[in-house]
Structures are given as C-alpha cells and as structure tokens.
Amino acid sequence: MFDDTIAAISTAVSEAGISIIRISGPEAVSAADRIFRTPKGNRILKEVPTHTIHYGYIVDGEETVDEVLVSVMRAPRSFTAEDIVEINCHGGILSTRRVLETVLACGVRAAEPGEFTRRAFLNGRIDLSQAEAVGLLIGAKNEYALRNSVSQLKGSVLEAISRLRGEILHVVAGIEAALDDPEHYSAEEMADRLRENVGGWQRQIRKLIDSAQDGRMITEGVRTVIVGRPNAGKSSLMNYLAGADLSIVTEIAGTTRDVLTQTINLRGVTLLLTDTAGIRRAVDKVEKIGVERARENARGADFILYVVDSSVSLDESDQEIMDLLRTEKKPALILLNKTDLVPVTTEEALREELGRYGLSSLPVLPVSVTGGSGLGQAEDKIIEIVYGGRLSVSEGLTITSVRQKNLLVQAAGSLEKVSTSIEMNMPEDFLTIDLMDACDALGAITGEQAGEDLINEIFSKFCMGK
C-alpha cells in the first residue's frame, strides 16, 4: 500500500452532464469527509459502509462549491485495492476544476498519468497485461477492439501465460530435483519429458505470436490501400467510404499526386484507408514520386482495393498493378468501376486478364461509384474479406501489445535453444538456463519479472485520471 493519497479528474475535461473526481489512498475518505456535507450539514463519510453513494455538497469553508453524489469504496474492494472516493459533480470545466482544487487543498496530491492503474497493479489488484488492457479499452476504435480489450481485462492473457509459465517451471523444478538427488530422480527421464513438452510450448507461443498480426489490425485498423490507373475513380471511392470530400476529384488524369490516409469506421471495422496516385508511367517528377509512394503503400498494405475503369481498355498500368498483386499476394477486392458508362472492359475480359496473372480467385464486383450502384455489395465484400477468413481475426486470445509480442518472440527463441540442446545431448543444467530465460520473458508479460523503468514507461502513456 502507498502512504500518500492522490486525486484527479477521471472524466474528459469538457462541458458535460457530470464529471468524476477520483481520490485514492489511505486518507481518501478522511479528505472527502472534510469537504462533504449532507443537506443537513452533517459529515458522514467516515462512518458510511463501503460501496455506498451519498447526496450532498462539496464545501470550501462557508462556500458551497457544487451539488454532488459521493461514492465510497473501501480497501481492498476497489480498483486500486485502496480506499477510493469518487465525487460525481456537474460537468462544467470550471466547476470540475474547482472541486478538484478543493480536494487537493486537503493535503491530497495530484495524480500522475496512469497512477490509479499503476497502483492497482502494484497492489496486486491486476497484472501488467490487464493494466495494458485498460489503456486499450479506453482507446478502442471498434467493436472488435472493445471485445478483445474486455477479454484481456478479465484476465485472458494472464491465464494463458501463467498456465504456460507454470508448466515450464514445473519441469525445471523436476530437472533441478534430479540433479540434486540423482538416487531418487532420473534426469534422463526429465529430459525425455521435456523433449515431449517443449514442442507443445513452442506451438502455443507461436499461435500467440501469430495472433499479434490480427491484434494490430484490431487496435490500429486494417491498412487498406486504393490502387488503380489514373482517373479510374479511386478518389471518388475514397470520398464515398470516408463519407466526406477528402480527395480532389476531377476528370483530369493524375490529379492525385500524393497519398492521403484517413481512419474510417466501416460497420464496426476500422480501416486506415489510403488514396494513392494513379499507377502509370509518370509524366513529371512530382507525379513520379506519387506513383512510387503508391507502390510502396500497396506493398505495406493489409488489404488492397483495386479500381478498374470499365469505360476504357486495360493497359500497361493495369498490367503493372496485376503484377504487383501477384507478387505481393495481398488480400484484394477488385471493383470494376463506371458501369454506368458504355462498357469497353467487360467483367469477363477483366477476369480473363486476371487469370493470366494467377489472380482468378480474387473477387470482382461491378460498381458505379458516382452513380451509387453496387457500393453496398462492395461494403459487404470488404467486411467479408477482412473478418471473414482472408484476414482471419481469431475468436480466441489475440495479442494486441507490441511489448507482449516481443517478449513472446524472446521466449520462443529460448525454447528453440532448449530444443537444440536436447538434440545435442547437452547436460540438463544447460537446459534449465534457457528454460528460465523463457520463464523470465513470459513473466515480464504479466509483470512478475518487470522492472521499475518498464512499469513507469507503460503507465506514463495513460491519461491523467486513469
């Protein structure tokens, strides 16, 4: 437990119906009791039961600061495992700050960013993975991110890592016992058991590492790049999906000279949508830079929207894009645009050309972005591809933290060394060194092996009242 008491505004500092000032620490109830009065003027908070809420006023001497509801949650049954008081006041910016100033005048210290969650971790209320999940939950941009954050907050990462780490430690203990008491324990049997187990541990860790790609898309968004020849309708598609006129649209080919990226929410799916310059042999230096950036963005994309102009014949620009799709092997949706005009490139002709590049499995949808036809089906297909198998977001545990992924990679590397040592018939004490390295890496995920600098870095990214 900490000796000092902290306070901060835990809601957004803006005009709103209510704001919440959170106080946590050994003097939380005493401090609040000094400034809270019931309608009859009584001070009651020291005597009230835990997890109760009370109506009254915050006062500063003889002055009434605000009309409030005050919640009291006594240790250890609180978020920080300390005494917590939450003052629900009116949501004006000035009135909220005035209430906070009144609290701080009672000898309470202003909280640092993330300090409430930090205390929850250090007091054993949550582990480090759950603490990170709090930050992810606050910043969730879509339903998938929200669901995954809640799962981690409930301990899904902690459960998986603790189980895996416990299995490894159990084997290490067996090997150590065999080395210390060879008359009663067989080190050879322990090594054989380890040989059977290490492959399973590696598969479990690899599955978690692989899920991190899905985790990035869940939290940050699916990097979606729109490509096509100049004047194919890429910018119009960008504007339609974004619901705003972000890209300049003209009949002049090559209007878009650079990349434009916008975060959009498409039916609960977050897309980092990028409009690019039309891919063709550039006519000037500026356009050439834009075209090269378009290629670079396509190579780094999770998903590609390829817009084809049906009112003209396929040319070398389209062939270059198809070659790019074949080389990069990215999940893609092909939109045969401008179907409201006289067709020159038919769907059959397009599919035949795609087949020449080994892309016949890619879906093709006829649309008219300016006319509005086929766009609903295009949205359906985008959702289907992103979360329907092509970019399969796992239903189970998904790693969303880069820090956790790097530690899993480190643990996997240590287990690979164990496998190598087993094949080389190395002494058992060599095996325990790498096994403990794997345990340390896994322990750092949940915070059992985390240093103070790492803890400070993680919680410094939190908002002030969390």
pLDDT of residue 255: 42
Q: Which helix (H) or strand (E) holds 351?
A: helix 347-356
Q: For 372-389, what is the mean pLDDT? A: 84
What are the tens digits of pLDDT across the range 348-363? Answer: 999 999 999 999 999 9
More confident residue, 443 or 251: 443
pTM of the model: 0.70
H helix intervals, 77-142 = 93-104, 115-122, 128-138
| Average pLDDT for the chain | 85
Q: Which helix (H) or strand (E) holds 386?
A: helix 375-387
Amino acid sitting at position 435? L
Radius of gyration of the chain from Cα atoms? 29
Return the exposure string of 400-419: e unless at least 16 CB atoms fall within 10 Å of the residue's CB, then b: bbebbbebbebbbebbebbb
Q: How many residues does the chain have?
A: 466
- Complete domains list, the chain, with CATH: 6-125 (3.30.1360.120), 139-216+399-460 (1.20.120.430), 225-387 (3.40.50.300)
What are the tens digits of pLDDT across the range 151-202? Answer: 888 889 999 999 999 999 888 887 777 766 666 555 566 666 777 789 899 9
| Three-state DSSP string of 268-300 | CEEEEEEECCCCCCCCCHHHHHHHHHHHHHHHC
- Written as one string, the DSSP assignment of 167-193 is HHHHHHHHHHHHHH-TTTS-HHHHHHH
Ranking 81-90, 228-237, 239-248, 427-436 by mean pLDDT, the lowest is: 239-248
Is 204 within 8 Å of 167 (Cβ atoms)? Answer: no
Cα 351 to Cα 53: distance, rounded to the nearest angstrom = 66
What are the tens digits of pLDDT across the range 262-297? Answer: 888 887 778 888 887 665 554 545 445 556 776 787
